[in-house]
Amino acid sequence: MLNNKFLFIAISISSLFSIINCGKKEEYILLKEIIPGAKIISQNECILEYQGKRFIIGPGDFKKKRDLIYELDLLKLEGPLEIDLRFRRQVILRRR
């Protein structure tokens, strides 16, 4: 009797988690998909180079960082720059 209750509770909880997780569809992208055509300088440190600009992506949510690059028009900046996106609440721009 106790085993049946435990089994029922376990099945109920796992069903509830699967229903909750179905609503959260997250999209994951690869490093090379952040900036199409960019050269990967370091796979481990997540560094890309595109048109003389070096993007330090860092670990984390690549999709959010890609969206940030396009929202801020960082690809249109002139000159040799280093754009650091490793931190959560800041973007650091440095001349190279």
User: Does the structure show a pLDDT above 90 at 88?
Assistant: no
Q: What are the phi and psi torsion angles at 56 (to 5°)?
A: -95, 100
Q: In Å, how far are 10, 37, 73, 90 from 7, measured between CA atoms? A: 5, 52, 54, 48
Q: What is the mean pLDDT of the chain?
A: 86
What is d(CA 14, CA 22) in angstroms, rounded to the nearest whole number?
12
Residues 9-54 pLDDT 10s: 767 676 656 666 666 666 789 999 999 999 999 999 999 999 999 9
Nearest in space to 50 (alpha carbons), one of 63, 27, 66? 66
User: What are the residue boundaries of the structural domains of the chain, listed by start?
Assistant: 31-95
Report the pLDDT value the prediction gives residue 89, as an integer from 0 to 100.
86
What is d(CA 96, CA 93) in angstroms, rounded to the nearest whole number?
10
Residue 75, helix vs strand vs coil: helix
Report the pLDDT value the prediction gives residue 66, as an integer from 0 to 100.
95
Do 40 and 50 contact (CB within 8 A), yes or no?
A: no
